[in-house]
Amino acid sequence: MSCSAAAVVYVHGLWMPGVEAALLGRRLRAERGYRMHVFHYRSRSEPVAHIVAALRQMVERIDAPQVHLLGHSLGGLIILRLLQRYSLRQAGRVLFLGTPCGGSRAAQQLGRWPFGRRMLGQAACEELLEYRARRWDIARELGIIAGTTPLGLGHLLLTFREANDGTIAVSETGLSGARSVLRLPVTHSGMLLSARVATEAGNFFEHGRFGP
């Protein structure tokens, strides 16, 4: 793979195929000249260690001066594991979209039942069903975008009593050590279709901050 400009690697979330970020990728290309590479994995059948190893191989094959990492939901936790385990040769920033860094009460509720754990799959169970204190102590700048429009499947599992994107509470997206955090009026899946999210992603990748 090659690209003369900086590249972006998108890591999708649970139950997603990757094509859901096609519009986001087109906007990043049009606004910033970034070429977005989509990393596909099987969240329901693959362990995190295998996913992370495959992601590292993909990133290493990209010929670009910078490779930024973009994770939606569970994809952000996959990126976190990647950078905890491996050193990448390319520089770049990291952006999480609706990533449950502090755990997911919706996933924990679903995981109470055997059929729910089967629905979540191996990777999500590894990352979301056991409490794990996380912090960002990696030498790359991290930005976090959290949604505040409360429409989503999470409301079928529990009652949120705080700001949320319909699946993940804003408080669940927090991670100590992040450089910049932004709340936007988008849903968990809708953030991938948002023009504002695309613009702010470009701002962060280019400047290390949100805003113009």
pTM, two decimals, is 0.95
Q: What local confidence, expressed as pLDDT, does residue 155 receive?
A: 75
pLDDT per residue as tens digits for the range 142-161: 999 999 999 887 777 888 89
Domains of the chain, start order: 7-207 (3.40.50.1820)
Q: Are 92 and 66 in contact (CB under 8 A)?
A: yes
Does position 1 have pLDDT exceeding 50, yes or no? no
pLDDT per residue as tens digits for the range 53-92: 999 999 999 999 999 999 999 999 999 999 999 999 999 9
Strand positions, DSSP E, 62-179: 67-72, 94-97, 142-147
pLDDT per residue as tens digits for the range 181-195: 999 999 999 999 999
Residues facing residue 91 across a β-bridge: 66
Using pLDDT thresholds of 50, 70 and 90, give the confidence band for residue 2: very low
Q: What local confidence, expressed as pLDDT, does residue 5 receive?
A: 80
Q: At what angle do helices 22-32 and 195-207 cross, to 10 degrees?
A: 50
Cα–Cα dist 114/60, whole Å: 37
* Two tokens, residue 124: 């999500």
Cα–Cα dist 202/5, whole Å: 13
Cα–Cα dist 97/19, whole Å: 16
Cα–Cα dist 70/85, whole Å: 17
The total of other beta-carbon atoms located within 10 Å of residue 17's CB is 9
pLDDT per residue as tens digits for the range 6-64: 999 999 999 999 999 999 999 999 999 999 999 999 988 899 999 999 999 999 999 99
